[in-house]
């Protein structure tokens, strides 16, 4: 194993299809860095947990894929990126939380009030699927980066396209001033369920060729990514080859990606704690037991009446 492989924590090789991973590469002639993410399993898992199909699945899947590509600013595994896309469409806000170690989770803030059946995506000929009718075209994109102890950056841009990847690309280019081309896509089966997902991010280094990024952006908008993913599972190497139209590049290694939430019983207890001791006791008396469901992953945690009373006592002790 080369030093570079060790450096990126690579456990997954760059050429295995069907395994979620992130691969980094450099195109030396144009000073362009390319990141590719294969996220089929991650996006399937997220949409299975949130019971999403159609346009909603594409929206969450594109945002999750983009977050994996974007949580790579520092190469620090402790890096954390949060994305909130607040559109005026039926989906409400899309919330994503991704980490530099490859974990990502996400949800829709208005999942409970979505129409049934869930809206389908619209197809623009051979181009990418269109989802702006459910994301909205008015609103904002908020990106928060934690890049180490007490170092937090937040940027906000207006929502423009409602296609998620185009809006995040605009965020990177204007707010972070990194000329970027970002394309993320989710292929669905004929019932609207997630089949495969993946994405590519190309950025120039300082002194790089911004016109080259412009050309890459045009090719990402062409719909080839959707066609690639609709046929069969793609390796990240194939995605990089597609983004660079076959230009020579050097792979800098790959690392694994996965859907993972960091909730647990303690999270459920702290959510209930916000009610205050008296209301927790009342809840235990009235409902007996209560269920707290994590909005990011859908996992339910049940607290019994005894646990609720114990929590209330604990809160009173802490206060006195
Ligand atoms: Zn969770």
Q: How far apart are CA 37 and CA 105, in angstroms?
A: 15
Q: Distance, CA 54 to ligand 1 centroid (Å)?
A: 23
Residue 133 CA to residue 190 CA, distance in Å, equals 20
Ligand 1 centroid to Cα of residue 114, in Å, is 20
Ligand 1 center to residue 298 CA distance, Å? Answer: 6
Task: Provide the pLDDT for residue 3.
Answer: 32
48 upstream amide cis, omega within 30 of 0: no
> How far is the centre of ligand 1, averaged over its atoms, from the C-alpha of 296 (Å)?
5
Alpha helices in the chain (DSSP H): 3-7, 40-50, 54-70, 132-135, 165-174, 210-220, 224-231, 236-243, 265-273, 277-287, 305-319
All domains of the chain in start order, with CATH: 9-259 (3.55.30.10), 265-319 (3.90.1280.10)
State the Cα–Cα distance between residues 204 and 30, nearest whole angstrom: 8
What pLDDT sits at residue 17? 62
Using CB atoms within 10 A of its CB, is residue 167 exposed (0-12), middle (13-18) or buried (19+)?
buried
What phi and psi, each to the nearest 5 degrees, are found at residue 9? Answer: 65, 30
For residue 301, report the distance from its CA to the centre of ligand 1, in Å: 10
Q: How far is the CA of 78 from the centre of ligand 1 (A)?
A: 19
The rounded Å distance from CA 64 to ligand 1 centre is 15
Q: What is the pLDDT of residue 14?
A: 45
For residue 297, how far is its CA from the centre of ligand 1 (angstroms)? Answer: 4
pLDDT recorded at residue 16: 59
Ligand 1 centroid–CA 29 distance in Å is 43
Chunked into runs of 10 residues, the chain (320 residues) has average pLDDT values of 35 59 92 95 97 96 98 84 96 96 95 87 85 96 87 93 96 92 95 96 84 88 87 93 91 96 93 94 91 93 95 91
Rounded distance from Cα 86 to ligand 1 centre (Å): 21
Measured in Å, residue 300 CA sits from the centre of ligand 1 at 8
Q: Ligand 1: distance of its center to the CA of 39 in Å?
A: 19
Radius of gyration of the chain (CA): 21
104 alpha carbon – ligand 1 mean position (Å): 11
96 CA distance to ligand 1 centroid (A)? Answer: 12
Ligand 1 centre to CA of 295 (Å) is 6
- For residue 97, how far is its CA from the centre of ligand 1 (angstroms)? 11
Q: How far is CA 196 from the centre of its chain?
A: 14
């Amino acid at each position: 194993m080369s030093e570079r492989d060790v450096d990126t924590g690579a456990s997954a090789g760059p050429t295995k299809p069907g395994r979620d991973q992130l691969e980094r590469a450099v195109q030396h002639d144009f000073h362009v860095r390319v990141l590719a993410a294969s996220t089929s399993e991650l996006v399937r898992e997220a949409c299975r947990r949130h019971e999403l199909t159609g346009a909603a699945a594409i929206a969450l899947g594109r945002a999750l894929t983009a977050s994996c590509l974007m949580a790579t600013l520092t190469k620090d595994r402790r890096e954390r990126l949060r994305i909130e896309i607040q559109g005026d469409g039926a989906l409400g806000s899309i919330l994503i939380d991704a980490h530099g170690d490859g974990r990502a989770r996400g949800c829709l803030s208005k999942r409970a009030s979505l129409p049934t059946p869930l809206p389908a995506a619209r197809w623009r000929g051979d181009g990418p699927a269109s989802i702006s009718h459910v994301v909205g075209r008015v609103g904002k994109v908020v990106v928060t980066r934690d890049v180490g102890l007490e170092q937090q950056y937040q940027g906000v841009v207006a929502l423009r396209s409602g296609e998620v990847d185009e809006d995040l690309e605009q965020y990177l280019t204007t707010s972070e001033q990194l000329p970027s081309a970002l394309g993320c896509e989710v292929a669905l089966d004929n019932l609207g369920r997630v089949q495969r997902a993946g994405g590519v991010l190309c950025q120039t280094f300082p002194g790089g060729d911004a016109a080259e990024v412009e050309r890459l952006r045009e090719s990402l908008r062409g719909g080839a990514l959707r066609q690639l993913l609709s046929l069969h599972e793609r390796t990240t190497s194939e995605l990089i080859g597609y983004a660079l139209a076959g230009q020579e590049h050097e792979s800098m290694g790959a690392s694994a990606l996965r859907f993972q939430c960091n909730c647990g019983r303690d999270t459920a207890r702290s959510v209930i704690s916000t009610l205050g001791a008296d209301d927790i006791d009342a809840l235990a008396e009235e409902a007996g037991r209560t269920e707290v469901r994590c909005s990011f992953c859908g996992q339910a945690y049940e607290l019994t009446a005894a646990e609720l009373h114990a929590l209330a006592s604990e809160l009173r002790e802490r206060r006195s």
